[in-house]
Amino acid sequence: MRAAACPGMCPEREGSERRLHRLERRTGAAVKEWRRPAAGGGGPGAAAELRPPAVLLRTVRHLLEAVVPLAEAEAEPEPWALVHPFVADRLRSVRQDLAAQRLGGRPAAAILEPSLRFLLAGPLWLERPPPRRSRPGEPGSVDAQARECFSRLFAAYTEGGDENQAEFQALALLFELGSDKAVHHALQLPSHIRESSEMKMAFAIHRALAEGNYVRCLRLVRCLPFLESCVVSRHIPMLRHRLLRAFSHGYSSRNCCYPLPTLVELLAVDSQGIAADLCQRHGQQVTGNSVCFQKNSYKDPDIIPEFKELELVIKKQGNRTRSSIILGLKMKLSPE
């Protein structure tokens, strides 16, 4: 475990060597950047550049309570395309300092939990989400960071502070939807975690996928809260693709057509136009409000488009702020 003696959110040396980011100037506080570890090194070295747990937690709260709300400010809002990469970088730097000190238990969980919520929900608020797979020379992908974060968080839970474990075990199970390894891990969890409402829903979605019941899968996704829906959204194109493949064979007929409005409901898309486009990409003929499924004309599309998913994801946010979602604040019921 390395000594940590940096009293501020940004080491004095770094603050004097680089220009402040626009968001740092606006909030009046510099925050340490993430830096790729030197070859053969394990991350930050000098104690003067390593922030202790209390400072790391203060940094996380500053990013989520002072910087993230700037994207929703009534006066002079900042674009999320500017806020998101800044916060993503600074949270990654926090996790780097955390790993260097080998912190575990509740102190680590308090930092990793909001970091994960940001990684899972943040890209959905972008007009163009970042690629899931990293390109040569670029920092790790969102998927890679999320998996690493899940791994560190579950290790921290073994040392205590696991009151939110059911939420994050369910999120991990949905993140790896269709993975036998993820299901095996979940089945080894204590019974009070496995039998939580969050885990029961995640298990049900996995079961529906394993049984090839894609209609039930998408119906269950409709019932998920906002954050869980953000996680599952990465799998939605695959579920729709498999459903249309099954329908093109199961309902193949020269004389009968399937009603497009019904297919909109089963595919859980936002409009008939989207449903028609998906059918045509799979080689199926759309005429008016009907689809004529033909297994002989079925084809796997080169690209399965990803949509904003208004009904399945975006509208579930309601009037909750991004900051409250990332911090995990529960909605309060208004008095009757």
pLDDT band for position 335 (cuts 50, 70, 90) = very low
> How high is the pLDDT of residue 42?
46
pLDDT tens digits, 75-97: 899 999 999 999 999 999 999 99
- Would the pLDDT of 221 be above 80? yes
Beta carbons of 320 and 332 less than 8 angstroms apart: no
Tokens for 177, please give them. Answer: 């939807």
Residue 304 pLDDT level (bands cut at 50, 70, 90): confident
Give the integer Cα–Cα distance in Å for 280 and 144: 34
Indicate the pTM of the whole model. Answer: 0.90
Q: Residue 270 — pLDDT band, cuts 50, 70, 90?
A: very high
Query: 299 vs 139, which has greater pLDDT?
Result: 299
pLDDT, tens only, 152-209: 999 999 998 889 999 999 999 999 999 999 999 999 999 999 999 999 999 999 999 9
Where do we find the tokens 């390109």? Answer: 135
Per-residue pLDDT tens digits for 234-266? 999 999 999 999 999 999 998 889 999 999 999
Asked whether 171 and 227 are in contact (CB, 8 A), the reply is yes
- Spell out the domain ranges in the chain: 12-35+45-214, 251-298
Is the pLDDT assigned to residue 149 strictly greater than 50?
Answer: yes
Q: Which residues contact 323 (CB under 8 A, 6 or more apart)?
A: 64, 65, 68, 69, 72
Sequence-distant (6+) residues with CB within 8 A of 134 are 140, 141, 144
Mention every residue, 6+ apart, whose C-beta is less than 8 A from residue 50: 2, 3, 4, 5, 6, 44, 97, 100, 101
- Specify the fold of 12-35+45-214: 1.25.40
Of 82, 76, 72, nearest in space to 126 by CA: 82
State the average pLDDT for the chain.
Answer: 91
User: Within the chain, how many helices (H) and strands (E) appear?
Assistant: 16, 3
Count of other CB atoms within 10 angstroms of residue 141: 15
HSE-CB at 282 with a 13 A cutoff on CA atoms is 28
